[in-house]
Structure 1
Amino acid sequence: MAELPLVIDLDGTLLRSDMLHEASLRFAKRSPWRIASLFGWLARGKAYLKEQLARQTPFDVEHLPYNPEVMELIEQHRLRGTPVVLATATHRLHAEKIAAHLQVFDRVFATEHDCNLGAEAKRDLLVREYGEKGFDYVGNAHADLSVWASANRAYVVQPHSGVERRAKALGNVAQVFKSADHPLKNWLKALRLHQWLKNLLLFIPLFAAHLADDPQKLGQVVIAFLLFGLCASSVYILNDLLDIDDDRRHPRKCMRPFAAGKLSIGSGLLAFPILLSVAFVGAWLLLPPLFSGAMLAYYLLTLAYSLGLKRVMVVDVITLGLLYTLRIIAGAFVLDLQPTFWILAFSLFIFLSLALIKRYAELREARELGKMGRASGRDYFPADLEMISSIGTASGYLSVLILALYIQEISQTALYRYPVIIWFACPLLLFWISRAWFLTHRGLMHDDPVVFAAKDRISLITGALFALVFWLAA
C-alpha cells in the first residue's frame, strides 16, 4: 500500500516563526518611511499584502529558525518513501525559496495571486488533490483544525493555546510535539534583567553627593532604577527584532529568544511599546521632568544606534560610552543635581574602554573562526584588533588620570574628611582595567564586560575595595 503524503505547514510548524511577520519586519527596517504602505496593501487583501512583501523584501532563508523535530519527522517519512508536501499560507516566492534550500519537498502549495492559502482554502485544495482522509497533516494553530479534520493522521507541533485539546477531539492525532522551554523563561531572557546591572549607575550621583542616608532620595532613585530598567528592556526587545538576521548568523546570539523563534516576532512588536509606555508614564507621574528627558535621550540614542550608528566605525563605541553616561546624568536629574565635569569625563572614558573591550572580544572570536572579512553588522575587520586594543587601553588609563585630577580638586574642599585616602582608588582602577584587557587578549572576556565583571570574583572584590576607599575617605 502506498504511503499517504505527509503535508507540512510552514508558519509555526516547520518554521519557528511566521513569514508574514518576518517579511513585514524586514520591510519596516529597510523602508521605515513606507510602513503606511503595509496597511494599504492589507486593505486589498492578505494575499496582496504577502505578494508585495515577497516581491519587495527578498532575504536569505538559510538561517531561519527551522524546527528540528519537524525536520526529523520529514526525514523519517522520506526514508519510507513517503511523498512530502509543503502547504502554506506564505507567498509562493518565499515558500519555493525555502523548499529549494531544504530540498525535502516533492510539491509546494502556497499563497499566490489573490488566493490566500489558509484554513479552509488549504483544506479544500488538499482534498481536491489527495481526497478526504488521503493525506497526513502537520500543523500548529487554530486555522489548522479544519485541515486536520480532513486528514488521515494529525501531527500537532508547538500548539497554540487550546489547539491540542480541540485537535485531540477529532480523534486522529498521531503525535504532539511540545517545547521543553517555558515561555516565562524565554521572556525573562528577552527582557535581559541581568543587563539592569548597568542601571545601577543611576545610584552614583546619590552616593557621590552623600545622600544615601536620605530615605526619600533613596526611594526616588530606586523608582528611577525600575523605570529605567523597563525602558532598557523595551530597547533590548526592539534591538533583538531589528538585529534578528545578524543574530541568527552569530554562534551565541542565534539562541536569543526572537532569533531562535522561541518567542514570536508579533509578541515582541506588542511587548516593546507596552514596556516603553509604562516606563515613561511612571517617570512623568513620579519623578522630576528632567529624568524623563534623560530617559528619552537614552531611548532615542539607543534607537539611532540600533538603526545605523552601530554600523559606523568608532561612532558605535562612542555611542555606547554616551549611553552609560546618560544613566549617570539621569540619576543626577532624579535628585535635582547637576552632573559634574569630573564624573561625566570619567564615565565617558572608562565606558569607551569597556565598549572597545566588547568589540575586541567579538572580533577576536571571528578571527579564531577564520573569518577575516568585515564583521557581521559592524564596520570592523579582525585586522583592526591591535588598533582597538591601543585605543581601549589608552581610554581606560585616561579615566584613571581623570580620577587622580578629581582627587586633587576635592582636596581643597570639605566634601571628604580624608580625601588623601581616595588615592588608593587609582591603583585599584589601574589593576582592574589592565586585568580586563589582558583577559580580553587571552579570549577569556565575555563579550559584555559589565556582565563579566558582575560574575567575576576578582572584579567584585576590586569593586568592594574601591567602594571601601571612598567610604573611609568620607
Structure 2
Amino acid sequence: MLERPQVVEPETGTRRRRGLASGIVRTARPRQWVKNVLVVAAPAAAGELFSWHALTQLAVVFALFTAAASAVYLINDARDAEADRAHPVKRNRPVAAGQVPVPVAYAVGGVLAVLAPAGAALLCNPMTALLLTAYVAMQLAYCVSLKHVLVVDLVVVTTGFLMRAMIGGLALGIPLSRWFLITTGFGALFMVSAKRYSESVQMVGKAGATRALLTEYTTGYLRFVWQLAAGVAVLAYCLWAMEEGGVASSSLLPWRQLSMAAFILAVLRYAVFADRGTAGEPEDVVLKDRALAVIGLVWLAMYALAVVDW
C-alpha cells in the first residue's frame, strides 16, 4: 500500500513567515522601547497624568513614538547590513544575517516612518505630528551622516530623548516648563555621554571596530561632557524644586525640596557606573542595579507626593 506523500510546503512557508515577522520585531529593538516611557514625563510633572483622557492619549503617543523609533532602526539596519556582516556581534542582527531581506526592512521602515506622523495628525494634534516628523527626519539624517560628525552625534541622540519627554505634553496641550526642559535635556546628555565614555573605555585600541567616531573622541573629553551635563541637570532640578510657587501651604512636608536628595543620589549612583566605564547599556544600569532602583522609587514617591500637594 502506497503512502500518501506529505505536503510540507505550507508548513515551511508558515515557518518562514513567522521567522520574518520575528526578525522584523527583533530589528525594531523591543528592549529599547522602554525609553518611550518618557512620553509620560511632562504630564506627570504637571500633575495631569491620572485621567482617562490623559492615559488614553499617552498610550497612543507611546505607540506612535515606538513605531517612529522602530522605523529608524529598520532603515538603519538595512542601510548598514553590509558593514554589519563584517562585525562579530552585529552580523547576528536579522537584516545582516539574512532573516529579514534588505528591501523588506526598507519597506517596513518606510511605512512606519510615514504612518507614525500621519497617525499623530489624526489621533493627536498638529504639534505632535510635527514633532514626530522632525524626530524621524533627524534620526534618518543621523543614520546617513550625522552619526559621523563629532559632537553633533551627542546632540542628536540627546535631542531624541528630549523629544520623547516633550511629546506627551504637546499631545495633551500642557505648557512645558523651562526647568523641565533643561533638567531633561542635560539629564539625557549625561546618560548619552556616559554611554559613549564607557564604549570608549571598553574599546581602547580598537574603538573604531564598533563606532568609528569613538576614535575621534578622547576619554578625557567625554568624561568632561558627562560631568558637566550631570552638574547642570542637578542644578536645574534644584532651582525648580526651590521655586516658592510650587509649595502648597497644606503640604505636611516639603516633598518637592526633599526630592532633591533622591535626585542627586540617583545621579551620583549612576555616575559610579559612568566612572567605571560600565554605563554602555543605560537600560541595564537602570533596571539591574538594585540600589539605583530603590533610589528611583523613593524619588518617584516624593515627586508624586509633591505633585499631589500642588
Same fold (TM over 0.5): yes
1:230 aligns with 2:55: no
Structure 1 residue 281 displacement after superposition? 2.7
Q: Do 2:154 and 2:189's aligned partners in 1 also have CA atoms closer than 8 Å?
A: yes
C-alpha separation between the residues in 2 aligned to 1:362 and 1:466?
29
Q: Which residue of 2 aligns with 1:440?
A: 274
1:306 maps to a residue whose letter is C
Q: Identify the match of residue 177 of structure 2 among 335, 340, 346.
A: 340
What SS does structure 1 have at the residue aligned with 2:40?
helix
C-alpha distance in 2 between matches for 1:322 and 1:395: 14
Distance in 1 separating the partners of 2:35 and 2:301: 20
The alpha-carbon distance between structure 1 residues 383 and 226, as it changes in their structure 2 partners (threshold 3 A), is: closer
Secondary structure at the counterpart of residue 212 of structure 2: coil
Relative distance call for 1:429 and 1:247 in structure 2 (3 A) is farther
SS in 1 for 2:158: helix
- Aligned residue in 1 for 2:4: none
8 Å CA contact 1:425, 1:466 repeated in 2:
yes
Q: CA deviation at 1:267?
A: 1.4
Please tell me whether the aligned partners of residues 197 and 277 of structure 2 are also in contact (alpha carbons under 8 angstroms). no
Which runs of 5 or more structure 1 residues have no equivalent in the other structure?
1-160, 166-177
Answer yes or no: is 1:426 the counterpart of 2:263. Answer: no
Please say if residues 311 and 377 of structure 1, whose CA atoms lie closer than 8 Å, have aligned partners that are also in contact.
no
* Aligned counterpart, 2:6: none
Q: TM-score, normalised by structure 2?
A: 0.85
Equivalent of 1:456, from 276, 283, 289?
A: 289
Gapped regions of structure 2 (runs ≥ 5):
1-8
Change (3 A) 1:413 1:312: same
Three-state SS of the structure 2 residue aligned to 1:444 is coil
Shift of 1:195: 1.3
1:371 aligns with: 206
Write 1 or 2 for the structure with the bigger share of strand.
Answer: 1
Identity %: 26
2:140 paired residue number:
303
In 1: Cα distance, 2:132 partner to 2:248 partner: 29
**In the TM superposition, what is the alpha-carbon distance from 1:314 to its structure 2 partner?**
1.2
Contact 2:148 2:212 in 1 (8 A): yes
What displacement does 1:193 show? 1.9
Match of 1:339, SS? Answer: coil
Deviations 1:17-59 (A, max 9, x none): xxxxxxxxxxxxxxxxxxxxxxxxxxxxxxxxxxxxxxxxxxx
Maintained 8 Å contact 2:27/2:94: yes
Number of aligned residue pairs: give it: 297
Once the two structures are superposed, the pairs formed by residues 99-110 of structure 1 within 5 Å of their partners are: none
RMSD (CA atoms): 2.7
The structure where helix makes up a greater share of residues is 2
Q: What CA distance in whole angstroms lies between the structure 2 residues aligned with 1:164 and 1:337?
A: 51
Instruction: Specify which of 191, 194, 202 is matched with residue 354 of structure 1.
Output: 191
Cα drift, residue 190 of structure 1: 0.9
Q: Give the aligned partner of residue 218 of structure 2.
A: 384
Of 242, 264, 272, the residue aligned with 1:408 is: 242
Task: Give the aligned partner of residue 233 of structure 2.
Answer: 399
Contact 2:247 2:256 in 1 (8 A): no
Q: Is the 8 A contact 2:127 2:170 kept in 1?
A: yes
**1:219 pairs with one of 47, 51, 56:** 56
* Per-residue deviation, 1:271: 0.8
**Separation in 1 of the partners of 2:189 and 2:210?**
21
Residue identity in the other structure for 1:267: V
Match of 2:89 in 1: 252
Change in CA separation of 1:238 and 1:387 when aligned onto 2, cut-off 3 Å? same
Decide whether aligned partners of structure 1 residues 328 and 417 sit closer, same or farther in structure 2, where only a CA change above 3 A counts: farther
Q: Distance in 2 between matches of 1:254 and 1:189?
A: 13
Q: Which of these two proteins has the greater Rg computed from alpha carbons?
A: 1
What do the CA deviations read for 1:37-83 (whole angstroms, capped 9, x no partner)? xxxxxxxxxxxxxxxxxxxxxxxxxxxxxxxxxxxxxxxxxxxxxxx
**Kept in 2: contact 1:310–1:378 (CA 8 A):** no
The letter of the residue matching 1:458 is: A
User: Could you tell which deviates more after superposition, 267-276 or 426-435?
Assistant: 426-435
Distance in 1 between the 2:250 and 2:22 partners? 48
Describe the SS at the equivalent of 1:412: helix
SS at match of 1:460: helix
CA distance in structure 2 between the partners assigned to 1:434 and 1:362 by the alignment: 20
Alpha-carbon distance, 1:443 to partner: 4.3
Q: Distance in 2 between matches of 1:387 and 1:437?
A: 16
